[in-house]
């Protein structure tokens, strides 16, 4: 019997020949990442475990991204504690408020490589499966155990295979594909599972698009999303990573708990409606929904290609005076490239506010909070009630192209007709 990529990576890190879904294994961690809001809790948990130092300061990364720069004394104090811990522990890598969102910064800076086992004290750590890594989000006490020992227990997940055949049409993007998949699978349809994305659409997809897919695995309850390493992965990693990639492929007779075939050709722009990510509609079904705030950014869709589409749609145009548009590049690297390419000027000329690379409006921390009764349109990954501010606000999710087209009109607008 064959095994999936996820099973092979877990087996290797648990020092076993193979592992079966449902089995509980203890595995060695290659990299542990904790962002500002959870790092201190994790570190305190490690101390409570009676351990005084992290297991390997070259394998632990703290990163300040969720509220950056700080907005009040409380989170300023949290940042101060993170800096002190990183300094005292002599962490080899520490990223301050000038870096960007953790899930963008880690791969950009060469910390993520195929075959690794990565844990992050953030639920969207599954994003890194785009690089053929087994990457999953954990809570602070689990992270405390990792900081203390470099190991963690895992229940080996079953794998769901998504086969996306055909290719996405003009102005339809990986975000539309993953929203469609979320609709099919449901917000809890992949609980405890690894989601493996395969098929022609994925083979032709950029790294950025694959990250968008894997990023949203958690929105279906997934433990991780994963894409087999290929030339596109290796091309991105060239000159970034030091480690030799350890490439795993799923066997042809591997066991999947579910196989879902999706025809990408047929997908039209998708919108996830309040207040649940799987409440997804074809954009053509929606009737003039007025919006107040648009957020383009986050670890789902704040990358260079996202800003490129946005700029292409907004070039020489002015956004509707009914909306405010916040654009937040996912990292300083993205920001710099967007500046060099002249994208930022186009966006500012169109009326956008550019925020510094960080999580920004994504989780309602800062940089654009919704008031009661307001409607937000966002390229991020979650539209739970209260996620971006008031619980009496509504949030819709979409691709950057749909967000940009909607910025011009003030209502949710199909990017194919603009």
Partner 1 sequence: MQNSKAWNFGDNVNTDFILPGRYLELTDPKKLAEHAMEGLDPTFSSNVKKGDIIIGGKNFGLGSSREHAPIALKYSGINIIVAESFARIFYRNAFNIGIAAIECQNISHKVKTGDNIEVNLAKGKILVHGEKLSIKPLPEFMLQLLNEGGLVNYIKNHIKEW
216 binds, among partner 1, ligand SF4, none (CB under 5 to 8 A by kind): none
Is residue 331 at the binding interface for ligand SF4, with CB under 6 A as the rule? Answer: no
Is residue 122 at the binding interface for ligand SF4, with CB under 6 A as the rule? Answer: yes
Where b means 16+ CB within 10 Å and e means fewer, 300-331 reads bbbbbbbbbbbbebbeeeebbeebbbbbbbbb
Structure tokens at 103: 């899930």
Is residue 50 at the binding interface for partner 1, with CB under 8 A as the rule? Answer: yes
Q: What is the smallest separation between the CB atom of 82 and partner 1, expressed in angstroms?
A: 12
State which of residues 101, 181, 304, 354 lies at the interface with ligand SF4 (CB under 6 A).
101
13 binds, among ligand SF4, partner 1, none (CB under 5 to 8 A by kind): none
- Phi, then psi, of 110 in degrees rounded to 5: 80, 20
Write each residue from 279 to 308 as x if it is in contact with ligand SF4 (CB under 6 A), else as -, in one continuous string: -------------------xx---------
Q: What is the smallest separation between the CB atom of 364 and ligand SF4, expressed in angstroms?
A: 9
- Distance, CA of 299 to CA of 284 (rounded, Å): 27
Quickly count: other Cβ atoms within 10 Å of residue 297's Cβ: 33
Site residues for partner 1, 54-83, by CB under 8 A, read: 66-67, 72, 74-75, 78
Count interface residues toward ligand SF4 (CB under 6 A). Answer: 13
State which of residues 192, 247, 260, 315 lies at the interface with partner 1 (CB under 8 A).
192
- Distance, CA of 411 to CA of 76 (rounded, Å): 37
Q: What is the smallest separation between the CB atom of 6 and ligand SF4, expressed in angstroms?
A: 22
Q: Which residues bind ligand SF4 (CB under 6 A)?
A: 66, 101-103, 122, 124, 298-299, 359, 362-363, 380-381
Contacts with partner 1, residue ranges (CB under 8 A)? 24, 26, 37-38, 40-41, 44-45, 48-51, 66-67, 72, 74-75, 78, 120-123, 125, 137-142, 144-145, 148-149, 151, 153, 187-188, 191-192, 218, 221, 223, 276, 363-365, 382, 384-387, 391
């Amino acid at each position: 019997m064959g095994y999936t990529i996820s099973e092979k990576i877990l087996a290797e890190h648990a020092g076993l020949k193979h592992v079966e879904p449902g089995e509980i294994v203890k595995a060695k961690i290659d990299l542990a990442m904790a962002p500002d809001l959870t790092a201190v809790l994790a570190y305190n948990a490690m101390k409570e475990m009676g351990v005084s130092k992290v297991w390997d300061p070259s394998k632990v990364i703290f990163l300040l991204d969720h509220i950056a720069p700080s907005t009040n004394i409380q989170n300023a104090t949290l940042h101060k504690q993170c800096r002190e811990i990183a300094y005292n522990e002599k962490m080899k890598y520490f990223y301050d408020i000038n870096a960007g969102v953790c899930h963008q910064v880690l791969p950009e800076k060469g910390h993520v490589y195929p075959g690794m086992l990565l844990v992050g004290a953030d639920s969207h750590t599954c994003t890194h499966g785009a690089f053929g890594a087994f990457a999953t989000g954990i809570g602070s006490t689990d992270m405390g155990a990792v900081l203390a020992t470099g190991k963690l227990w895992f229940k080996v997940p079953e794998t769901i295979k998504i086969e996306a055949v055909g290719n996405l049409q003009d102005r339809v993007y990986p975000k539309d594909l993953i929203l469609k998949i979320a609709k099919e699978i449901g917000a809890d349809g992949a609980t405890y599972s690894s989601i493996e994305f395969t098929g022609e659409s994925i083979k032709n997809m950029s790294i950025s698009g694959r990250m968008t897919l894997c990023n949203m695995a958690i929105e279906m309850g997934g433990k991780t999303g994963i894409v087999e390493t290929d030339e596109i992965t290796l091309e991105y990693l060239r000159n970034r990573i030091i480690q030799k990639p350890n490439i795993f492929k799923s066997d042809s007779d591997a066991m999947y708990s579910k196989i879902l075939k999706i025809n990408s050709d047929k997908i039209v722009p998708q919108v996830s409606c309040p207040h649940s990510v799987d409440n997804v509609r074809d954009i053509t079904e929606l009737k003039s929904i007025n919006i107040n705030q648009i957020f383009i950014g986050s670890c789902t869709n704040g990358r260079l290609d996202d800003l490129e589409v946005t700029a292409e749609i907004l070039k020489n145009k002015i956004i509707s005076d009914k909306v405010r548009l916040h654009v937040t590049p996912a990292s300083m690297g993205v920001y710099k490239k967007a500046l060099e390419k002249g994208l930022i000027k186009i966006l500012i000329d169109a009326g956008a506010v550019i925020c510094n690379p960080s999580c920004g409006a994504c989780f309602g921390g800062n940089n654009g909070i919704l008031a009661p009764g307001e409607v937000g349109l966002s390229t991020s990954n979650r539209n739970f009630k209260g996620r971006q501010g008031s619980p009496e606000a509504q949030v819709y999710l979409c691709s950057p192209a749909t967000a940009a087209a909607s910025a011009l009109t003030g209502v949710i607008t199909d990017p194919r007709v603009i």
